[in-house]
Amino acid sequence: MCPDLLPAPGGEELTRGFLQEVVDILLGYISKSSQRSSKVLDFHHPHQLKEGLECFSLDLPDQPETLEQILVDCRDTLKYGVRTGHPRFLNQLSSGLDVVGVAGEWLTSTANTNMFTYEVSPVFVLMEECLLKKMQSILGWSDDVGDGIFCPGGTISNLYSILVARYHFYPEVKTRGMGVLPQLALFTSEQSHYSVKKSAAVLGMGSENVFMVKCDERWVSSKYTKGFLVINGMHNNGNVCSPVASLYVSVFASLGVELFNFKYLFSRACSVTWNPHKMMGVPLQCSAILVKKRGLLQECNDFGAEYLFQTDKNYDVSYDTGDKSIQCGRHVDVFKLWLMWKAKGSEGFGSQVNKCLENAEYLYDQLQRRTDFELVLKNKPEHSNVCFWYIPPSLRGQPPGPDRDARLHQVAPRIKGRMMEKGSVMIGYQPLGDKVNFFRCVFSNPATQQEDIDFLLDEITRLGDI
Amino acid sequence: MCPDLLPAPGGEELTRGFLQEVVDILLGYISKSSQRSSKVLDFHHPHQLKEGLECFSLDLPDQPETLEQILVDCRDTLKYGVRTGHPRFLNQLSSGLDVVGVAGEWLTSTANTNMFTYEVSPVFVLMEECLLKKMQSILGWSDDVGDGIFCPGGTISNLYSILVARYHFYPEVKTRGMGVLPQLALFTSEQSHYSVKKSAAVLGMGSENVFMVKCDERWVSSKYTKGFLVINGMHNNGNVCSPVASLYVSVFASLGVELFNFKYLFSRACSVTWNPHKMMGVPLQCSAILVKKRGLLQECNDFGAEYLFQTDKNYDVSYDTGDKSIQCGRHVDVFKLWLMWKAKGSEGFGSQVNKCLENAEYLYDQLQRRTDFELVLKNKPEHSNVCFWYIPPSLRGQPPGPDRDARLHQVAPRIKGRMMEKGSVMIGYQPLGDKVNFFRCVFSNPATQQEDIDFLLDEITRLGDI
Ligand SMILES: Cc1ncc(COP(=O)(O)O)c(C=O)c1O
Ligand SMILES: Cc1ncc(COP(=O)(O)O)c(C=O)c1O
């Protein structure tokens, strides 16, 4: 134990000194992460890290370490980690290092409270209400119909949407289970995120009862390849040709940018997943499920625990929103988003997202210009993802076919491996259907500039030609 | 936007200055929270806070605020919040303000990464493995059998345990759903936490199929009243008298202290919920589900998203543990626990928990001594919860019966309301079965000393006698 830190009597000075040293480490990390001369990561294989590098050991002791050692542990943890805020971290969404967002999260963890009741989170509960209303108004929903809740990630948001849809059609499922229901089917795009199937499995609906609907080339190109936009029809008799009246439309627009481009979808939707920890650059975790029918979340999930949701409190208990949740304790995910919204305004978020779209266009243009790259989809990107192959010299001019495919399939993983070992840049890759491994560049990091995109392509070329 | 903070070029100085000011606010908050002369909270009704107090407005602007205003917002958020680390915050578990835990969470939010792959969280993924192993060894499980994952709270942990139990007996449920299964039943203690029913509803099993098993007075008194210890039998044919062989025993020992007292349960358990954000004082959220059968979590939940879990990576991909999860993105909840373990050692956690048990005993002794209080259960507490009534002068000597009950029922809420308005101390209350509202004191806050317990009882007397 560190018996001299607060709450120990007289522990104030030591506490301040210790936390200030931690903050100095963090401030150093933040400024270094913004420098292009820093590595994105200092790669080690699992067995290397586990063997313990220098003074860094993962083992959990019986006896306390000194505070000096705790500071060393903090430094080493950052040293061997990945700088997701580095301008050349393009590996996935939920990247970036938003300074105000980080400040918000520092405050949240210092306040260390729980969203389940107004009693212990008066300010945060009201911020959640305020954010949900704002988000609904952006979707074009009228002020008094909508509802929602923040939850731990887009996948759980998607799970909620299926959960409330099921309850909407079959409220008896809550008490009686799936056993008394007819066979249900779920429709989603063939390019939808795997969270739809995962949630269907958790909810007891079964992944086989998720029907993947074909989508046209334009949608494949722009939205579905990135697996972000799903229209999920919930259906009451397992018959694919069911009347539209029994469709429950959920839009899983996890990225945030869809809000600007696909508004027409949202007005029709019964629920929407909105994931500020993606394109909006809010530190992970921050995700909301918005439900158009007020009251549905509460009815679907409440079990009225008497030790939390007493009805004879001294305040308006309609602010105890915890029983809308499938959780009990719930982390405060709203404050960082609220604070960022204050600091940027809606317009600031808008231009941040536009910047990412511009980066995607710039990459698209560069790829067209360079002969050693090939676009997976020829269309101009409608979103912030761009997918492409690098064609190494040995494959250039080789005719298409299984032979070339087999070799091309190995190119991206090999280059990615070299990138990681060098620590110069990070980008993802994947195969998709009959398409062999390609690079998948996702722009959501506000630190990324055109020079980083140039660097990315140059670096791929350098590493690919070895 | 704050266009001059990082990642803006040259934004380093402003960033440092801004974050340092935030930290100064947080350090001030931390030291004030440890002072008994501070209020636990500065209570306002929802409508008062919403109308905006002084310069504090919840509204989300289109245009950015200044950084000065952001600092004001931070200060006000803390001012109108609840000091869960205050020595007199006894309202619920997940309290306290562990300095090393807070430091850990500050670092986590600065690193802003995602647990789903080793690639982006090498250090944190290994810390999770290390923690899970340690926890399993404390449960007495042998090194090579167990598995587990950290997830957002005890309720989700409990949901996992039911989910894997169902999969264990009926693996076809994952793809085919509940429709092809016989009727399932779930057994739990009549005093179990409401998360069992909630999870049964989510999973499509139905809350009516949860059977509440009576427990003896001793268990009611010590464990079940606090709703923390549940043995959840999963059953394969809906017949209550099923053979033990088809029982899947889950122990929901969310508090952490059970580890010391009820070890015999854990060796038998197929899964265990362990919730470090409760008695161990780790900042919310931090919870693990431990599963004895290695591989079960992965089989139950994997859908192998190709954009994340490529098998042709340059490192040992068995460290990409993300597909064990029902989430996709997953917050790093392990670092603060790992760091606290380093700082306290297992022994430090042990003595912290013992301190809470001592506090419970002290309260119990005081309650027996004072004539204006009545214990809900006469036994010495076996845990850190103590439940009691305050009997105001007007009720003393009144014979038991519905009349007295009706009046006693109103006492705790009234006193609690006055407490909150005064901001002097916070404690929960609840009814239970035929027992009218009683106070429920939960010790998990390491800041609480005997003088705070004396204060609590004196304050209840003062406020109750008005
Ligand atoms: C047995 C049990 N399960 C679950 C929970 C809920 O945990 P959480 O609030 O982390 O979801 C509790 C809370 O006290 C509990 O005692
Ligand atoms: C449509 C959709 N749903 C869910 C997710 C997963 O979100 P999370 O990682 O927050 O669970 C994604 C991730 O990209 C997504 O695109």
Q: pLDDT averaged over consecutive 10-residue blocks of chain A (466 residues)?
A: 84 97 98 97 96 83 95 97 98 94 98 98 97 90 88 95 93 96 85 91 95 61 32 30 42 52 67 90 95 95 94 96 97 98 92 91 97 94 90 95 97 98 98 95 95 98 89
CB contact under 8 A, B313 and A413: yes
B264 against B357, higher pLDDT: B357
pLDDT of residue B166: 93
- The ipTM assigned to this model is 0.94
- Residue B410: list chain A partners with CB under 8 A: 312
Q: Is the pLDDT assigned to residue B153 strictly greater than 80?
A: yes
Inter-helix orientation angle A450-464/A334-369, to 10°: 60
B27 in contact with chain A, both atoms CB, cutoff 8 A: yes
How close does chain B come to A7, measured CA to CA in Å? Answer: 5
Mean pLDDT value across chain B: 88
Give B-chain residues touching A179 at CB under 8 angstroms. Answer: 178-179, 181, 183, 206
Q: Which ligand is nearest to the CA of A154?
A: 2
Q: How far is the CA of B339 from the centre of ligand 1 (A)?
A: 23
Query: Which tens digits make up the pLDDT trace of B391-441?
Result: 999 999 999 999 999 999 999 999 999 999 999 999 999 999 999 999 999
Exposed, middle or buried: residue B407 (CB in 10 Å: 0-12, 13-18, 19+)? middle
Tell me which residue in A94, A118, A123 faces B114 most closely, judged by beta carbons. A94
Measured in angstroms, the CA of B287 and the nearest CA of chain A are apart by 10
Omega before B413 within 30 of 0, i.e. cis: no
A203: nearest Cα among A223, A225, A181? A181
Among residues A434, A438, A418, which one has the least CA distance to residue A426? A418
Residue B132 structure tokens = 């899970």
B94 phi, psi to nearest 5 deg: 50, 65
Extract long-range pairs of A414-421: CB within 8 Å, 24+ residues apart.
Answer: A414/A464, A415/A390, A415/A460, A415/A463, A415/A464, A416/B313, A416/B314, A417/B313, A417/B314, A418/A463, A418/A466, A419/A459, A419/A463, A420/A41, A420/A43, A420/B119, A420/B314, A421/A43, A421/B314
Q: What is the dihedral of CA A372, A374, A375, A380, to 10 degrees?
A: 60
Please calculate the CA angle A226-A465-A434 and round it to the nearest 5 degrees: 35
**DSSP H or E segment with residue B430:** strand B426-432
Q: What phi and psi values does residue B432 have, to the nearest 5 degrees?
A: -155, 115
Please give the C-alpha separations between residue B156 and each of A387, B233, B293, B322, in angstroms, as whole numbers: 35, 17, 19, 16
The pLDDT score that the predictor gives to residue B382 is 75
Q: What's the average model confidence in pLDDT over B242-261?
A: 48
Within B147-191, strands assigned E span 147-151, 185-189
Q: Are A96 and A349 in contact (CB under 8 A)?
A: no
Contact A11 B22 (CB under 8 A): no
Helix (H) or strand (E) segment spanning residue B163 = helix B154-169
Q: Which of A284-293, B30-39, B250-259, B399-408 is least confident?
A: B250-259
Which residue's alpha carbon is at the smallest distance from atom 15 of ligand 2?
A228
Ligand 2 touching residue B329 (CB < 6 A): yes
Chain B, 238 to 267: residues with Cβ < 8 Å from chain A are: none
Measured from the Cα of B327, ligand 2's closest atom is 11
Q: Tell me the chain A residues in contact with residue B138 when contact means C-beta distances shorter than 8 Å.
A: none
- For residue B38, the model assigns a pLDDT of 98
Write the CA distances from B428 to B7, B34, B384, B415, integer angstroms. Answer: 45, 21, 14, 11
Across A254-258, B91-95, B253-257, the highest mean pLDDT is recorded for B91-95
- State both tokens at A465: 């030609």
Give A457 to chain B, closest Cα distance, Å: 20
Instruction: Flag the least confident range among A71-75, A92-96, B118-122, B334-338.
Output: A92-96
Mutate to test the pocket of ligand 2, among A188, A198, A275, A282 (most ligand atoms within 8 A of CB): A275
Q: In chain A, what is the straight-line distance between the N-terminal and C-terminal CA atoms, in Å?
A: 52
Q: Considering only residues A293 and B260, tell me which one the structure prediction assigns the higher pLDDT.
A: A293
**pLDDT in the model for residue B53:** 78
The chain A residue lying nearest B282, using CA atoms, is A112
**Token pair of B394, please?**
């007007």
Which residue type is seen at B71?
L
Q: Residue B107 and residue A315: Cβ atoms within 8 Å?
A: no
The minimum-distance atom of ligand 1 relative to the CA of A114 is: 9
In one letter, which amino acid is B218?
Answer: R
CA of A254 to the centre of ligand 2 (A): 6
Q: What is the pLDDT of residue A268?
A: 72
Look-up of token digits 């795009």: A189
**Residue B217 pLDDT exceeds 60:** no
CA-nearest residue to B208 within chain A is A175
Nearest residue by C-alpha to atom 5 in ligand 2: A154
A410 touches chain B (CB under 8 A): yes
Minimal CA–CA distance to B187: which of B209, B215, B202, B164?
A: B209
- Residue B250 pLDDT: 61
Answer yes or no: is the C-beta of B276 below 6 A from any ligand 1 atom: no
- The CA distance from A264 to the nearest CA of chain B, in Å, is 22
Q: Is B109–A283 a contact, with Cβ atoms under 8 angstroms apart?
A: yes
Instruction: Please name which ligand lies nearest the alpha carbon of A194.
Output: 2
Q: What is the model's pTM?
A: 0.94
Question: In Å, how far is B264's CA from the nearest CA of chain A?
Answer: 22
In the prediction, which pLDDT does B263 show? 59
Which ligand number lies closest to the CA of residue A231?
A: 2
**Residue B49 in this model has a pLDDT that exceeds 80:** yes
Q: What is the pLDDT of residue A466?
A: 65
Task: Give the pLDDT of residue B144.
Answer: 78
Q: Does B201 contact chain A (CB < 8 Å)? A: yes
B18 touches chain A (CB under 8 A): yes
User: Which ligand is located closest to the Cα atom of residue B223?
Assistant: 1
pLDDT at A190: 79
Q: Which of B61, B102, B120 sits opposite A342 (nearest CB)?
A: B61
Would you say the CB of residue B305 lies under 6 angstroms from ligand 2? no
Residue A346: its chain B contacts at CB < 8 A?
60-62
- Ligand with an atom nearest the CA of residue A328: 1
Which of the residues A91, A307, A323, A436 would you substitute to probe the B interface, choosing the one with the greatest number of B C-beta atoms within 10 Å?
A: A307
Question: What pLDDT shows up at residue A384?
Answer: 86
Would you say A404 and A415 are in contact if contact means Cβ atoms under 8 Å apart? no
Closest CA to A82 of A418, A414, A423, A422: A423
* Residues 69-98 of chain B whose Cβ lies under 8 A from any Cβ of chain A: 69-70, 73-74, 77-78, 80-82, 84-85, 87, 91-92, 94-97
Assigned token pair, B244:
């033990």
Q: Are A102 and B109 a contacting pair at CB < 8 A?
A: yes
At A97-106, the pLDDT tens digits run 999 999 999 9
Share of chain B above pLDDT 70, in %: 88
Q: Does A111 touch chain B (CB under 8 A)?
A: yes
Residue B406 Cα to ligand 2 middle (Å): 51
Distance CA A124, CA A131 (A): 10
Contact call for residues B296 and B167 (beta carbons, < 8 A)? yes
Is the separation of the CB atoms in B40 and B423 below 8 Å?
yes
Write the CA distances from B167 to A206, A245, B208, B297, integer angstroms.
12, 34, 20, 9
Q: How far apart are CA A19 and CA A112, in angstroms?
A: 16
| Residue for token pair 């043995």 | B231
Q: How many CB atoms lie within 10 A of CB A315?
A: 20
The answer to whether residues A218 and A239 touch, using CB atoms and an 8 Å cutoff, is no
Indicate the residue type of B29: Y
pLDDT of res. A404: 97
Tell me if A107 and B431 make a contact (CB, 8 A cut-off).
no
Pairing relationship of beta strands B373-375 and B287-291 according to DSSP bridges: unpaired
Mapped to the 3 state alphabet, what secondary structure does chain A carry? CCCCCCCCCCCHHHHHHHHHHHHHHHHHHHHHHCCCCCCCECCCCHHHHHHCCCCCCCCCCCCCCCHHHHHHHHHHHHHCCECCCCCCEECCCCCCCCHHHHHHHHHHHHHCCCCCCCCCCHHHHHHHHHHHHHHHHHHCCCCCCCEEEEECCHHHHHHHHHHHHHHHHCCCHHHHCHHHCCCCEEEEECCCCCHHHHHHHHCCCCHHHEEEECCCHHHHHHCHHHCCCCEEEEECCCCCCCCHHHCCEEEEECCCCHHHHCHHHHHHCCEEEECCCCCCCCCCCCEEEEECCCCHHHHHHCCCCCCCCCCCCCCCHHHCHHHHCCCCCCCCCHHHHHHHHHHHHHHHHHHHHHHHHHHHHHHHHHHHHCCCEEECCCCCCCCCEEEEEECCHHHCCCCCCHHHHHHHHHHHHHHHHHHHHHCCCEEEEEEECCEEEEEEEECCCCCCCHHHHHHHHHHHHHHHCC
Nearest-atom index, ligand 2, CA of A284: 10
Query: Nearest C-alpha of chain B: how many angstroms from A221?
Result: 16
Q: Which residues contact B64 (CB under 8 A, 6 or more apart)?
A: A342, A343, A344, A345, A347, A348, B1, B2
Contacts of B347 in chain A (CB under 8 A): 1, 62-64
SS3 content of chain B, % helix, strand, coil (to 5): 45, 15, 40
Q: Which of A151, A155, A289 to mutate to test the pocket of ligand 2 (most atoms within 8 A of CB)?
A: A155
Task: Say what the pLDDT of residue A243 is.
Answer: 27
Q: Which has more confidence, A231 or B252?
A: B252
